[in-house]
Structure 1
Amino acid sequence: MWLFMCLCVGMLVLPNNGEVYTAMTDIGRLLTTEGEMIRAVENYIIAQESKLEKLRRDVYEMERVHDEAARSPEAFLGNPINTFLLVKRLTVDWTDLQNIMTDDSMGKAMLNNLTSMADFLHWPDEEDLNGVAVALMRLQDTYNLDTSQLARGHIYGKRQAYRELTAADCFELGRQSYNGGDHYHTMLWMNEALKRQEMESNKTVDHADILEYLAFSTYMQGNVRQALKLTNELLVERPNHQRAQGNKVYYEETLQAQLAKKRGEDGATMDEEAVEKGYTVTENAEVASDWQRERRAYERLCRGEGSVPNSISKKLDCFYKHGPSDFLRISPVKTEVVHIDPTVSIYYDILSDKEIAVIKELATPMFKRATVQNYKTGELETASYRISKSSWLKHGDHKVVAGVNHRIESITGLTMDTAEELQVANYGIGGHYEPHFDYARREEKDAFKSLGTGNRIATFLFYMSDVEAGGATVFPYINLSLWPKKGAAAFWYNLHPSGEGDTLTRHAACPVLVGTKWVSNKWIHERGQEFRRPCTLDYNTL
Structure 2
Amino acid sequence: MGLFGVTYGWMLIFILLFSSSSAHSDVFTSIGQMTDLLFVEKDLVSSLKDYIRAEESKLEQIKKWADRLDILSAVATEDPEAFLGHPVNAFKLMKRLNTEWGELESLVLSDTSHAFISNLTIRRQHFPNDEDQSGAAKALTRLLDTYRLDTDSFSSGELPGLSQSSPRSSLSVSDCFDLGKVAYSEADYYHTELWMTQALKQLDAGGPGEDQASVAVDAVAVDAVTILDYLSFSVYQQGALEAALDFTRRLLALDPVHQRANGNLKYFEFQLAKRRPAGERGVRPGEKGETRGRPADYLPERKQYEQLCRGEGIRMTPRRQSRLFCRYYDNNRHPMYVIGPVKQEDEWDRPLILRYHDIVSDTEIERVKELAKPRLRRATISNPVTGVLEPAHYRISKSAWLGAFEHPVVDRINQRIEDITGLDVSTAEELQVANYGVGGQYEPHFDFRRKDEPDAFEELGTGNRIATWLLYVSNHYVIITSS
Class of the TM-score when normalised by the shorter of the 2 chains: 0.7 to 0.9
Gaps in structure 2 of 5+ consecutive residues? 1-10, 216-220
Q: Rate the CA distance shift 1:250–1:11 in 2: closer, same or farther, 3 A.
A: farther
Alignment-derived partner of residue 396 in structure 2: 387
1:300 aligns with 2:259: no
Instruction: State the alpha-carbon separation in 2 of the partners of residues 232 and 386 from structure 1.
Output: 42
CA contact (8 A) 2:346 2:355 kept: yes
Alignment-derived partner of residue 341 in structure 1: 350
Alignment-derived partner of residue 220 in structure 1: 237
Instruction: State the alpha-carbon separation in 1 of the partners of residues 339 and 450 from structure 2.
Output: 39
1:320 aligns with 2:322: no
Alignment-derived partner of residue 466 in structure 2: 457
Which amino acid in 2 is paired with 1:250? Y
Q: Rate the CA distance shift 1:32–1:243 in 2: closer, same or farther, 3 A.
A: same
Alignment-derived partner of residue 255 in structure 1: 272
1:279 aligns with 2:283: no
Instruction: State the alpha-carbon separation in 1 of the partners of residues 116 and 257 from structure 2.
Output: 40
Q: Deviations over 1:242-289 (max 9, x none)?
A: 433443333233323333xxx4xxx8899x95999683789xx9xx99
CA contact (8 A) 1:369 1:390 kept: yes
One of 74, 87, 91 as aligned partner of 1:84: 91
* Correspondence list, 1:527-542, <5 A: none
The structure that is helix-richer by fraction is 2
Please report how far the alpha carbon of residue 197 of structure 1 lies from its aligned counterpart in structure 2 after TM superposition.
0.9
Q: Rate the CA distance shift 1:276–1:406 in 2: closer, same or farther, 3 A.
A: closer
1:521 aligns with 2:480: yes
Q: Rate the CA distance shift 1:39–1:296 in 2: closer, same or farther, 3 A.
A: same
Q: Rate the CA distance shift 1:439–1:274 in 2: closer, same or farther, 3 A.
A: farther
Q: Rate the CA distance shift 1:66–1:31 in 2: closer, same or farther, 3 A.
A: same
Please report how far the alpha carbon of residue 341 of structure 1 lies from its aligned counterpart in structure 2 after TM superposition.
2.4
Instruction: State the alpha-carbon separation in 2 of the partners of residues 240 and 113 from structure 1.
Output: 46
Instruction: State the alpha-carbon separation in 2 of the partners of residues 361 and 243 from structure 1.
Output: 55
Alignment-derived partner of residue 46 in structure 1: 53
Please report how far the alpha carbon of residue 435 of structure 1 lies from its aligned counterpart in structure 2 after TM superposition.
0.9
1:115 aligns with 2:121: yes
One of 124, 127, 131 as aligned partner of 1:127: 131
One of 291, 309, 328 as aligned partner of 2:317: 309
Q: Rate the CA distance shift 1:184–1:358 in 2: closer, same or farther, 3 A.
A: same
One of 61, 65, 68 as aligned partner of 1:58: 65
Alignment-derived partner of residue 39 in structure 2: 32
Which shows bigger deviation, 296-305 or 245-254? 245-254
Instruction: State the alpha-carbon separation in 1 of the partners of residues 250 and 304 from structure 2.
Output: 42
Q: Rate the CA distance shift 1:417–1:232 in 2: closer, same or farther, 3 A.
A: same
Q: Rate the CA distance shift 1:196–1:35 in 2: closer, same or farther, 3 A.
A: same
Q: Rate the CA distance shift 1:343–1:116 in 2: closer, same or farther, 3 A.
A: closer
Q: Rate the CA distance shift 1:436–1:117 in 2: closer, same or farther, 3 A.
A: closer
Which amino acid in 2 is paired with 1:252? E
Alignment-derived partner of residue 527 in structure 1: none
CA contact (8 A) 2:112 2:118 kept: no
* Correspondence list, 1:295-444, <5 A: 295-306=302-313, 307-322=315-330, 323-444=332-453
1:98 aligns with 2:105: yes
Instruction: State the alpha-carbon separation in 2 of the partners of residues 249 and 108 from structure 1.
Output: 55
**Structure with larger RCO (C-alpha < 8 A, sep 6+):** 1
Which amino acid in 2 is paired with 1:327? M
Instruction: State the alpha-carbon separation in 1 of the partners of residues 106 and 435 from structure 2.
Output: 36
TM-score when normalising by structure 1: 0.77
Please report how far the alpha carbon of residue 373 of structure 1 lies from its aligned counterpart in structure 2 after TM superposition.
0.9
Instruction: State the alpha-carbon separation in 1 of the partners of residues 98 and 451 from structure 2.
Output: 46
Q: Rate the CA distance shift 1:268–1:127 in 2: closer, same or farther, 3 A.
A: same
Which amino acid in 1 is paired with 2:428? A
Aligned to 2:344, what secondary structure does the other structure show? strand
Please report how far the alpha carbon of residue 523 of structure 1 lies from its aligned counterpart in structure 2 after TM superposition.
0.7
Alignment-derived partner of residue 7 in structure 2: none
Q: Deviations over 1:175-231 (max 9, x none)?
A: 222222222221111111111112228687222121121221121222122112212
Aligned to 2:443, what secondary structure does the other structure show? strand
